Copies of this chain bind each other. A is one copy, B any other.
Amino acid sequence: MAREDGRGPDQLRPVKITRSWLAHAEGSVLVEFGGTKVLCAASVQDSVPRWRRGSGLGWITAEYAMLPRATNTRSDRESVRGKIGGRTHEISRLIGRSLRACVDYKALGENSIVLDCDVLQADGGTRTAAITGAYVALADAIAWMRKRKMCPGDPLVNSVAAVSVGIVGATPLLDLCYTEDVAAETDMNVVMTGTGEFVEVQGTAEGVPFDRSTLDALLDLAATGCTELTLRQRESLS
C-alpha cells in the first residue's frame, strides 16, 4: 500500500525544528512534522507550586492547545466555551509527564518550567510533535538557566522524543498524517528517551482489537522513529 505522500511505511515525514522562534521565551521551538506545526515555548519561573515549596525540588508542567483554525474545519475556542475539553487535558498531562522523565528535579532546584505547546496547524501527530519540540525548548531554557547559575546541578539527564504509529489497512505505519490517523484501526503514541527506554506507551484499538504480534510490530516501528527523532533533536541543539 502506497502512502499518499509517497513515504515508505517506516519513514517519518520531513521534520523541521526551528529554535528561538519567539523573542521573549527562555526556550522556544517551531516544530514541524510534515504539515503539523506546533509552537513550543518554555517559560522559566523561579518558584514552584505551593505543594512543592521548601522541598528543594523543581517542577515541569505543560499546556497543550490548538488554534481554532489549525484544523480543516474551524473549532470553537476553549476560552470562549469556558472550559477545557477532555482531549486537551489529556494531551497536556501526557506532555508534562513525558518531559518530567528527562529532568532531575534536585539539580533543577526550586524552579519551574512551563511548556506551552500551541498547535498552529494540525495534520496528525500533534501531541508527538509537541513532545519532540518541547524537549528542545526545554533544553534551551535549561541552558539559559545554567548560564545564569540558577540551577544547583545539570537538570537534563536524558532526552525524550515521541512518535505515532498505527495499523492502516493491515500495514503498520510510522508517523501517521491526519488522513491515515482517521483510517487507522489501531493507533499508538510512544514516548521514548534518547537512550531507548519507554516513557509512555498509549495504544488504542479504534476499530478492531489488536493482538500481541501487532503490538510488537508497532513498538518496533515506534522505536525506529524515536531513534531518528532523537538524532534530529541533537542536530538541532548542536
Binding site for B on A (CB under 8 A): 22-25, 28, 35, 39, 41, 43, 45, 63, 65, 67-72, 74, 77-80, 82-90, 92-93, 97, 101, 114, 116, 118, 120-121, 123, 158, 188, 192-193, 195-205, 208-212, 215, 219
Contacts and interface: CB of A to CB of B under 8 A. Distances in A.
Nearest to A92: B86
Nearest to A81: B79
A105 to B, nearest CB: 11
Contacts of A68: 41, 43, 63, 114, 116
Given A84-B79, A209-B199, A215-B219, A74 B22 contact: no
A165 to B, nearest CB: 12
A23 B79 contact: no
Nearest to A198: B210
Given A63-B68, A118-B67, A43 B74 contact: yes
A227 to B, nearest CB: 13
6 contacts: A22-B70, A23-B123, A78-B79, A82-B82, A196-B211, A200-B205
B86 A90 contact: yes
Given A23-B121, A193-B209, A65 B79 contact: yes
A97 B90 CA distance: 14
A145 to B, nearest CB: 15
